[in-house]
Amino acid sequence: MMKKINSVYWIEMVTPNTKEVADFYSKVVGLHLDEVVDDDDNVSYEVRDDNGEDVMGVCSQDTFPDVPSGWLPHIEVVDLDDSASKIELNGGKLISKSDQYCLLEDPSGNRMMLSQTNK
């Protein structure tokens, strides 16, 4: 799947109580849950609509220990290195970076994930 550049392509809730939050959205909105266990045995959920399309994720706080509990939007960018180089110059904070992703904090203290996965 090609991701639309410079737009939110994924959002996930980072929380210590993944099952409770995933169940909440399943019961209130009628979404379906798929449990995902990472290599460190952290349990997260992919949340899907009736057509099986991904809607959002509910991710274990243990997977993202640098991220406070809350929503974490993901944006696909054209050039991750270029975008990352502009974060601190514009009042933000670069929290962590890999070859395909970087976690940033904007000037208001909110966190977001940038990615460059469609190389």
Tell me, what CATH number does 110's domain have?
A: 3.10.180.10
Total domains in the chain come to: 1
Whether 3 is covered by a domain: the verdict is no
What range defines the domain where residue 36 resides? 8-115
Whether 86 is covered by a domain: the verdict is yes
Whether 2 is covered by a domain: the verdict is no
**pLDDT score for 119:** 60
Whether 1 is covered by a domain: the verdict is no
**pLDDT score for 64:** 82
3-state DSSP assignment of residue 27: helix
Round to whole Å and give the CA distance between 90 and 119: 26
CA angle 102, 12, 114 (to 5 degrees): 20
Whether 57 is covered by a domain: the verdict is yes
Over residues 23-76, the pLDDT tens digits come to 999 999 999 999 999 888 989 999 998 998 888 999 999 988 878 899 999 999
Over residues 69-117, the pLDDT tens digits come to 999 999 999 999 999 999 999 999 999 999 999 999 999 999 999 999 8
pTM (2 d.p.): 0.82
